[in-house]
Amino acid sequence: MPSAKNLGRGPSVVHEANGRIRLRGRLFADPALDHAYVEAMIMALPGVIEARLNAGAACLVARHDGRPGVREAILAALGDLPDEAFLPGRRRKREGLDKAAALGLLALGAKRLPRPLGGLLSWLAAAPVIAGGLETLINRGLKVEVLDAAAVSALLLRGDYRAAGAIVALLALGRHLEQTSEEKSSALLKSLLAVGDEDVSVERDGAEIRQPAAKLAIGDIVVCGPGDKIVVDGQVTWGQAELNQSSITGEARPVAVEVGDRVISGATVQDGKIKIRAQQVGRHTAMARVGSFIETAVRHQSEPEKRSARLADRLTPVSLGLAGGLLLLTGDTRRAVSVLTVDFGCALKLAAPLAVKTAMYNAGRRGVLIKGARALEALSRVDAVVFDKTGTITHGDLEVTDVVPLDGMSAEELLALAAGAEEHYSHPVGRAVVRAARRRGLPQPALSQVDFIVAHGVSAYVADQRVLVGSLHFLAEDEGVDCSTAEGLCASLRDQGKSILYVGHENHLEGVIALRDRLRPEAGAVLAGLRAAGVEELVVLTGDHRQTAQALARDLPQLDAVRWELRPEDKAAIVAELQARGRVVAFVGDGVNDAPALVTADVGVCMPAGAELARDAAQVVLLQDDLWGLLSARQLAARFQATVGQSFFAAIGLNCAIMLAAAAGRLSPLGAALLHNLSTIGILGHAAAANLRPAETGPRALPQERVS
């Protein structure tokens, strides 16, 4: 599909006033144009408040904040839409409620008009339905539109203008209600995009200045007071505040934050004042990323969606054949037409996409970003969950508990030496050591030739002498340092659930540093909840020593296994091993070294503070720094799968019953059409409502405000 620019169909401005711009162009009436994509793309532009596309009027209306450059950005975006904005073969003609009402009035008055006039008006009203059926037959084969055209044509040929007009009106009303349901589900998702692009307060050289949020950079200190919307993901560095996070998690009650807590974009300061060091800005913030997930949800179908669509297409010839068979056997046109008014396509094809969008919206409101239908479907089938220990089952916020020199150094010298080597290594262990040294005011030695060995340790030079800081495997096996003198001491520390950092200097062991990570308080309850939700195997992977890992296993009896002393490549291999046993595996991690396992797993789940690579590799991203979101996501995915199954069987069962009643002569064409449309709307309503209910357990299983 060529872009709008190549087609020369760029829109023109027809009205503009007070930050509201109305554009018209043939582009907007293109039936292959993806409305949700275009609206989300425009809403994601800095300064845009709202965007609405009306295909019937071939126009788009956008509201913006009036800042320089916003208008031009909107025009530029619409003047060269990407290929992804078009969906070949997808017909998007909008059916208005007024059209359905007019057709209904025409049907009611058909009998009262002179027969030639009533017949002419009825044929004219039905012409779009008949033309659509012929076009579908020629271009796409036997589809639902062919059944509709055949039913209406047969009634018109019989001279039953009232029934024909009523069915045409019902078809228009049905399409209007179906499109309205679809648009509302898309609007729910798009509502999560509103992160805000207003001016914000930033601290510069001890003073507060105002600047556009679009100019924020990572590391900036953003100052937020009452009423301010948080537009960055980051960590509180000063102050205390109560945040309203209802637009993110669905929690109506405010959440207290203080120094050290992580906050995400989209929340509003209700009371207090805080300073936030920005860790993600602009399109990289948690809520801004929802735009790409809308595209994923629209374009990539889950297996249940594909199966439903295939079955709907296969049943169309069956309906046509049944109607034809009845006509040949009984000669009863009325029965045959009644059968033709019943089709399986609407409910089967629309219920699953509607369920996908509402489930994604519900998850997003509960602090979980699920990247589309495939992730939802896979998450519902997961029967094994594998956790990387640090930062997931534990907080990943390590504290130094013991500094034990073994070869003449003081504890302060040993800690300073280790902190010097670890200072530029962005890892929980390194950060904990550096933090402990700074608290004690220890000067750090000048280093050179610093090399980081992922998941092993650090090698550096101090005054031409090599310093090694890392795991037992790194020092003893890779570098040949004799660590036997610390065996008894380290065994005792590990029995206490502590991790050990070995410090070597010129090929001999200088001492060890013990660190302890805090188990997440909700870990046990979440593991139990996952087990109750159908997960059969729970595994934790760690690079820690056996004794430290076993201490964790004692604290969490819900676990089936803990694997220790692992390298990054081992995690992906263990995931593949579980898959080879027939498991559907979810992997939960947050680091760069977790990316291979996140990609290997059937579902990758990334914690909120995860590295960018891990966030991109994962299919599910948790926005709150706890594990409740994982349980909520699993429950919502299971409900989505159940809803799709219920919708599938309801569509088959109800339509079969209506079709059999029509074939037996118990239903008129109008009665069959009415029951068919009512059942379809009911199924779609159930698909939407079921997936908007909150999750069953956990602190975020709270009532949501009503969405209109």
Instruction: Give tens-digit pLDDT for 151-202.
Output: 778 877 877 777 777 777 766 766 666 666 566 656 655 555 444 446 788 9
At 174 the pLDDT is 62
**Where does the pLDDT of residue 708 fall: very low under 50, low under 70, confident under 90, or very high at 90 and above?**
very low
DSSP 432-478: HHHHHHHHTTPPPPP-EEEEEETTTEEEEEETTEEEEEE-HIIIIII
Beta bridge partners of 241: 257, 272
CB atoms within 10 A of CB 8: 9
Q: Which residues pair with 224 in a beta bridge?
A: 274
Summary mean pLDDT of the chain: 78
In the predicted model, is pLDDT for residue 513 greater than 90? yes
- What DSSP element (H or E) covers 119? helix 115-139
CB 415 within 8 A of CB 514: no
State the Cα torsion 611-613-619-623 to the nearest 10°. Answer: 20
The pLDDT of 389-401, averaged and rounded, is 83
User: What's the pLDDT score for residue 106?
Assistant: 59
pLDDT confidence of 577, banded at 50, 70, 90? very high
Question: Quick one: pLDDT at residue 103?
Answer: 57
- The distance from CA 217 to its chain's CA centroid, rounded to whole angstroms, is 25
pLDDT band at 705 (very low <50, low <70, confident <90, very high): very low
**Neighbouring C-beta atoms of residue 37, cutoff 10 Å:** 22
Q: How many other C-beta atoms can be found within 10 angstroms of the C-beta atom of residue 105? A: 12
Residue 382 has pLDDT above 90, yes or no: yes
Cβ atoms 228, 222 nearer than 8 A: no
Neighbours of 278 (CB within 10 A): 22
What is the tens place of the pLDDT at every residue in 46-79?
888 888 888 878 889 998 888 888 888 888 888 8
CATH number for the segment(s) 399-516: 3.40.1110.10
Q: How many CA atoms lie within 13 A of 493 on its CB side?
A: 23
Domain ranges of the chain: 4-94, 97-187+291-358+637-690, 199-287, 368-395+519-623, 399-516
Q: Which residue is listed with tokens 């933090």?
A: 435
Question: How much is the pLDDT for 190?
Answer: 57
Q: Whole-angstrom Cα distance, residue 464 to residue 74?
A: 59
4, pLDDT greater than 50: no
What is d(CA 62, CA 52) in angstroms, rounded to the nearest whole number?
6
- Residue 288's pLDDT band (cuts 50, 70, 90): low
Give the tokens for residue 441.
């005011």
Mean pLDDT of 472-494: 87
Q: What's residue 578's pLDDT?
A: 94
H helices of 195-237, in order, are: none
Residues paired with 539 in a beta bridge: 386, 561
The reported pLDDT for the residue numbered 524 is 92
Distance separating alpha carbons of residues 288 and 47, to the nearest angstrom: 13
pLDDT top residue among 698 and 458: 458
pLDDT category, 2, cuts 50, 70, 90? very low
pLDDT value of position 183:
65
How far apart (Å, rounded) are the C-alpha atoms in residues 401 and 499? Answer: 10
The enclosing H or E element of 283 equals none
The Cα 54–Cα 575 span in angstroms is 48
SS3 annotation, 294-361: HHHHHHCCCHHHHHHHHHHHHHHHHHHHHHHHHHHHHCCHHHHHHHHCCCCHHHHHHHHHHHHHHHHH
Rounded to 5 degrees, φ, ψ at 14 are -105, -20
Pairwise pLDDT comparison (638 vs 94), residue with the higher score: 638
pTM of the model: 0.63
Query: Which of these ranges, 341-355, 460-474, 531-545, has the smallest mean pLDDT?
Result: 341-355
Give the separation between CA 200 and CA 220, rounded to whole angstroms.
11
Query: CA 355, CA 301: separation in Å to the nearest integer?
Result: 12
Which CATH architecture group holds 368-395+519-623?
Answer: 3-Layer(aba) Sandwich (3.40)
Sign of CA dihedral 464, 465, 468, 469: negative
Could you please state the CATH topology (level 3) that the domain comprising 4-94 is classified under: Gyrase A; domain 2 (3.30.1360)
Q: Kindly indicate whether the domain formed by 199-287 is annotated with CATH number 2.70.150.10.
A: yes
Crossing angle between the packed helical segments 144-158 and 303-330, to the nearest 10 degrees: 30
Nearby residues of 514 by Cβ (< 8 Å), 6 or more positions away: 400, 401, 402, 403, 404, 493, 498, 499, 500, 501
Greater confidence (254 vs 588) lies with 588
The stretches of 192-242 forming alpha helices (DSSP H) are none
What pLDDT shows up at residue 301?
60
Q: Which residue has the tokens 């996908």?
A: 356
